[in-house]
Amino acid sequence: MKISLFEHFTYKKLLKFTFPSIIMMIFTSIYGVVDGFFVSNFVGKTPFAAVNFIMPFLMILGGVGFMFGTGGSALVSKTMGEGEPRKAKEYFSLLVYVSAVCGVVIGVLGIVFVRPVAALLGAEGEMLDNCVLYGRIILLALPALMLQYEFQSFFVTAGKPQLGLAVTVAAGVANMVLDWLLVAVFSLGLQGAAIATAVSQCIGGLIPLLYFARRNSSLLQLVEAKLDKKALLQTCANGSSELMSNISMSIVGMLYNAQLLRYAGENGVAAYGVLMYVNMIFIAAFIGYAVGTAPVIGYHYGAKTQGELKSLLGKSLIIIGIFSVAMLGAGQLLAKLLSTLFVGYDQTLLALTMRGFAIYSFSFLFAGIAIFGSSFFTALNNGLVSALISFLRTLVFQVAAVLLFPLIWKIDGIWLSIVAAELMAALTTTAFLLGKRKQYQY
């Protein structure tokens, strides 16, 4: 049964409509997880630490595509709701063309500056060389990665979330198979892991480009588009929260690595890497739900059906709450299994990672509210509030906590800091949702 943006969404329809986006985001997160598993178990602890060390820098660069996708889908879905499908296609096309060009430029700059950036962050010796090797190979595929992030949002807006899921799964499976072949079978080490990820990103970014470039059965298609500075500015404003979230998380990740090097050495960086892999997958479920609901919210905002907005918000908060409790339980139950999977070869590192899991998993109880709340205001084309929620959640609260808490609780303070930051972000988001309810009549 095909579900359209303009329908009334029951819980069943809402979950069915967002399920492809949730799985799509989880599979995207699995790319880095698979790399980490093979690098840690087949290459070594230092290369594994290097991958986690340089990853925040790579995420900052790729986050531009996520900005164009989330901000652009809000604009395009709103334009559809206003009854202008041709204009929506022109906006969509403009954003794809601009992001492709940006990807090439940013990728080249990243390749040039990856070594000085890694050195500035504190990498040296073998770890520095590994950061540069992995980073430069990944950056060759940056234009495709940006398009992949963008199309993950636009597939939902185009009414084809299942197709977006199929492309993402294909890319994820390719990454897993290539990691196994290049790292475990042919022993290409860190270079093999980077090549596997780069190829999978090309699959995820270029196949959708070919699909939308031809006539298709979706609501969107690439057409001729003129430069519309106002549309670009609105897209960047709408998506600024997602870009800010990506940049902030990456900066905070760098700060966490620096603190962990200080309090626990290389083992601390490796343990944090394992927690981040699990965090990426769990948080991806929240992000996927937010991405899946955003076009529906944007459509009904454009169509001025406030009753549907109220219904979507209420149902979403209940679903997010159930997800949150389930993720906390899963984090507690699977801590030993997941830690052993990545670092079972080193008992000291294993014990440190399991201790981190026991504390860190409480952050899942609060993270979903702020992630959905930020996306909700993006879909309402209120980029300012959305960006403020993301800025506070991913930067201000976390930086304050990670600098203060270790002074009191040492290494446990680093794990506790993310829990405190997510709690503060959830309270802030709740305040905004209550404060804006009369303005948007939800």
pLDDT reading at 431 higher than 90? yes
What does the alpha-carbon distance between residue 155 and residue 152 come to, in Å, rounded to a whole number? Answer: 6
Give the confidence band of 40 by pLDDT, cuts at 50, 70, 90. Answer: confident
For residue 188, give the 3-state DSSP assignment: coil
What does the alpha-carbon distance between residue 293 and residue 284 come to, in Å, rounded to a whole number? Answer: 14
- In this structure, the number of other CB atoms found within 10 A of the CB of residue 414 comes to 26
Question: Across the chain, what does the average pLDDT equal?
Answer: 90
What does the alpha-carbon distance between residue 25 and residue 165 come to, in Å, rounded to a whole number? Answer: 9
pLDDT reading at 308 higher than 80? yes
Residues 6+ apart with CB under 8 A from 124: none
Residue 307 burial by Cβ neighbours in a 10 Å radius (0-12, 13-18, 19+):
exposed
Give the confidence band of 4 by pLDDT, cuts at 50, 70, 90. Answer: low
| CA–centroid distance for 293 within its chain | 16
CB 419 within 8 A of CB 362: yes
CB 291 within 8 A of CB 39: no
What does the alpha-carbon distance between residue 215 and residue 239 come to, in Å, rounded to a whole number? Answer: 28
pLDDT single digits (tens) 188-238: 999 999 999 999 999 999 999 999 999 999 999 999 999 999 999 999 888
Cα dist from 375 to 239, 313, 382, whole Å: 9, 11, 10
Query: What's the average model confidence in pLDDT over 396-419?
Result: 93
pLDDT reading at 32 higher than 80? no
Give the confidence band of 261 by pLDDT, cuts at 50, 70, 90. Answer: confident
pLDDT of residue 3: 61
pLDDT single digits (tens) 415-428: 999 999 999 999 99
pLDDT of residue 6: 67
pLDDT > 90: what percent of the chain?
56
pLDDT single digits (tens) 70-120: 889 889 988 998 999 999 999 999 999 999 999 999 999 999 999 999 998
pLDDT reading at 153 higher than 60? yes
Residues 6+ apart with CB under 8 A from 84: none
What does the alpha-carbon distance between residue 372 and residue 262 come to, in Å, rounded to a whole number? Answer: 34
With vertex at residue 197, the alpha carbon angle to CA 183 and CA 260, rounded to the nearest 5 degrees, is 85
pLDDT of residue 370: 95
Give the type of residue at 175. Answer: N
Cα dist from 117 to 113, 122, 137, 180, whole Å: 6, 9, 16, 30
pLDDT of residue 179: 94
Cα dist from 439 to 216, 307, 381, 399, whole Å: 38, 14, 13, 32
- Comparing 141-150, 213-222, 375-384, the range with the smallest average pLDDT is 375-384
Give the confidence band of 52 by pLDDT, cuts at 50, 70, 90. Answer: confident
pLDDT of residue 170: 92
Length of the chain: 442
